[in-house]
């Protein structure tokens, strides 16, 4: 299956204005609205609750609340099926080095570990990483610890079948879980 036109348009726009998107002036909120939201919409997630579901049944909860060490934290997105969290998506601005910076990876893994989610995603659209969040996070971990999948926006089109197979909502209940099963040894 080819990547949807919406995704190829996002890739072309990102490539065309690459330096502007990577500048400090381009922030996380803009990244979410202009790239991450449309990317997940193209996968079939109801980012804006266009179905009009009650709060308990929304596909996507923005700034979902979770408790970590008694403090309320807010992952950027909680993606759910039937009101049940399946994974978090934490977004950063494109200037953040997803591949090498350990802080965003630790943040995401800590959210998911605390919520008992097996996997979650860290992205700035430029980069996309999936983490096995069954592995307890440690602030001293490198960004690569527990990362089971990594690619850049330049690979979205070529890997669209793989992305869609794992992240399209009807398949997600087991699809994203398969990433861990396929890539991690049993514990």
Which CATH number belongs to the domain containing residue 107 in this structure?
3.90.1570.30
Judge whether 78 and 61 are in contact, CB under 8 Å.
yes
pLDDT of residue 54: 94
Spatial contact of 93 and 28, defined as CB atoms under 8 Å apart: yes
Within 10 angstroms of residue 130's Cβ, the number of other Cβ atoms is 24
Domain count, the chain: 1
State the Cα–Cα distance between residues 11 and 160, nearest whole angstrom. 12
Q: Is the pLDDT of residue 178 over 60?
A: no
Q: Is the pLDDT of residue 63 over 50?
A: yes
Name the E strands within 2-126: 60-62, 66-68, 71-73, 77-81, 84-91, 119-123
Q: Tokens in use for 50?
A: 């266009």
Surface-to-core class of residue 96, CB atoms within 10 Å of its CB (0-12 exposed, 13-18 middle, 19+ buried): buried
pLDDT in tens, 35-60: 999 999 999 999 999 999 999 999 99
Q: What pLDDT shows up at residue 2?
A: 87
Domain span holding position 143: 5-183
Higher pLDDT, 6 or 82: 6
Burial 133-154 (b: 16+ CB within 10 A, else e): bbbebeeebebebbbbbbeebe
Rounded to two decimals, what is the model's pTM?
0.90
Q: Tokens for 13?
A: 């726009």
């Amino acid at each position: 299956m080819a990547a949807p036109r919406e995704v190829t348009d996002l890739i072309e726009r990102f490539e065309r204005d690459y330096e502007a998107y990577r500048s400090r002036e381009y922030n996380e909120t803009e990244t979410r609205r202009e790239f991450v939201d449309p990317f997940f919409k193209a996968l079939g997630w109801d980012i804006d609750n266009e179905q009009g579901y009650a709060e308990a049944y929304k596909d996507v909860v923005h700034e979902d609340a979770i408790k970590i060490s008694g403090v309320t934290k807010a992952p950027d997105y909680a993606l759910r099926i039937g009101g049940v969290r399946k994974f978090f998506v934490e977004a950063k601005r494109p200037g953040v080095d997803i591949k090498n910076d350990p802080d965003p990876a630790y943040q995401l893994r800590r959210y998911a570990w605390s919520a008992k989610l097996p996997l979650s995603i860290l992205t700035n659209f430029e980069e996309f990483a999936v983490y096995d969040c069954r592995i307890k996070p440690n602030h001293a971990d490198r960004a690569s610890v527990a990362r089971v999948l990594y690619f850049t926006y330049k690979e979205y089109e070529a890997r669209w079948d793989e992305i869609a197979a794992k992240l399209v909502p009807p398949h997600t209940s087991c699809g994203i879980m398969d990433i861990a099963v396929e890539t991690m040894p049993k514990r």
